[in-house]
Amino acid sequence: MKKLVVDMDGVLADIYEQFLSFEEREFGIRQNREDVVGKTESEAFKNEKKYALTPSFFRNAPLITDSRRVVEKLNKEYDLYIVSAATEFPQSLLEKQEWLNEFFPFITWKQMVFCGSKKLICGDIMIDDHYKNLDYFNGTTLLFTQPHNQLLDEKWHTRVNSWKEIEKMLL
Amino acid sequence: MKKLVVDMDGVLADIYEQFLSFEEREFGIRQNREDVVGKTESEAFKNEKKYALTPSFFRNAPLITDSRRVVEKLNKEYDLYIVSAATEFPQSLLEKQEWLNEFFPFITWKQMVFCGSKKLICGDIMIDDHYKNLDYFNGTTLLFTQPHNQLLDEKWHTRVNSWKEIEKMLL
């Protein structure tokens, strides 16, 4: 079985929705996703770090469309792991595991990796929304579209715009 | 710089001391380390899982002799990561990060990995006390002696008995 490495924030968990709604709660104005296209997350949301350090930020993130359904199918065909950057925000560690347990109950604790950098991670396929993670990976790299990477040239990685596209590609 | 992967429990953190003292607290009798040589941790400590699930079990583990001093030196010469199995006991995630922050303050969040299995981890050198982790590793494997592995044949890995030995070998 091929080793498939799946990122969490921006791939399974809709972290933009959390940023947008935390910001709306703080300032009373809601940006649209189109407004933040081409900006890094810290350019788009000036209190990004504060929100990410807030208890419940990660625990209450909504699911990205089709992620659960497709990951459940992929989990039968691949040696699948969820690899998520988490140690920058230590309170997120337990929240992320609880979130996975709730929305992806077929993913066991043996399939979870919470890290700072992903430089040690090897496998056959990586799905991630950040170049900084894909660039170090030794296998096939799928760039999951999010506003921060939408304008970037994807020549080093294969862009995927939805879980439906991933489903067609990998199943 | 070579990538050096260092395990936590049984390599940096003296988890046997925790098992022995938790057991003593529960039953009033303290086993010696010699009594548990050649036994797996679950054979040696019948309430192993219960102790590992107890808050403070990992947070209060004592340091293994010389680990801090030698890891601080290694950290200057290697691209060093601490990789620890943690997701089986979710409450251990934050405890492990806090423990590292206290005893190894020179290790940043970027150098921490908390996982279930270590099958995705690649690097140049791995120091671990468990065959199950070393066996999957692509680089040089150093088996750190602990009672559970003391009687095992180390023909697949290089046995190291102390951090002083590691210091001589890697520095």
B162 at interface of A, judged by CB pairs closer than 8 A: no
Chain segment A123-147, per-residue pLDDT in tens: 999 999 999 999 999 999 999 999 9
Chain segment B48-64, per-residue pLDDT in tens: 999 999 999 999 999 99
Contact A120 B90 (CB under 8 A): no
Sheet strands side by side (includes B79-85):
A158-160, A140-144, A125-128, A3-6, A79-85, A112-115, B112-115, B79-85, B3-6, B125-128, B140-144, B158-160
- A112/A5 Cα distance (integer angstroms): 10
CB B38 within 8 A of CB B153: no
- B119/A47 Cα distance (integer angstroms): 36
Checking if the pLDDT of B154 tops 80, the result is no
Which residues touch A166 (CB under 8 Å, ≥6 apart)?
A: A70, A74, A127, A142, A160
Q: Which two tokens stand for residue A2?
A: 């091929």
Task: Please report the pLDDT score of residue B155 as a whole number.
Answer: 82
From A115, which residue of chain B is nearest by alpha-carbon distance? B113
CB A44 within 8 A of CB A38: no
Q: Which of A5, A53, A97, A113 to mutate to test the interface with B (most CBs of B within 10 A)?
A: A113
Task: Please report the pLDDT score of residue A55 as a whole number.
Answer: 96
Task: Please report the pLDDT score of residue B67 as a whole number.
Answer: 98
Amino acid at A166: I
From B110, which residue of chain A is nearest by alpha-carbon distance? A116
Beta bridge partners of B41: none
Task: Please report the pLDDT score of residue A155 as a whole number.
Answer: 82
Active site residue A7: yes
Instruction: Look at residues A15, A52, A55 and name the one whose alpha carbon lies nearest to residue A36.
Output: A15
Handedness of CA B30, B35, B40, B44 (dihedral sign): negative
Torsion angles phi and psi, residue B159, rounded to 5: -80, 135
DSSP state of A47: T
- B130/B139 Cα distance (integer angstroms): 15
CB B33 within 8 A of CB B39: no
B86, B94, B113 member nearest A120 (Cβ): B113
Chain segment A155-166, per-residue pLDDT in tens: 889 999 999 999
Torsion angles phi and psi, residue A86, rounded to 5: -145, -25
Instruction: Look at residues A11, A106, A126 and name the one whose alpha carbon lies nearest to residue A63.
Output: A11
DSSP H helices in B104-162: 131-134
Q: Is B42 exposed, middle or buried (0-12, 13-18, 19+ CB in 10 A)?
A: exposed
Q: Which two tokens stand for residue B2?
A: 């070579």
Instruction: Look at residues B4, B149, B116, B164 and name the one whose alpha carbon lies nearest to residue A107.
Output: B116
Checking if the pLDDT of A20 tops 90, the result is yes
Contact B119 A83 (CB under 8 A): no
Q: Which two tokens stand for residue A71?
A: 């990951």
Contact B115 A117 (CB under 8 A): no
- B8/B99 Cα distance (integer angstroms): 10
pTM over cut 0.95? yes
Chain segment A52-87, per-residue pLDDT in tens: 999 999 999 999 999 999 999 999 999 999 999 999
Checking if the pLDDT of B146 tops 90, the result is yes
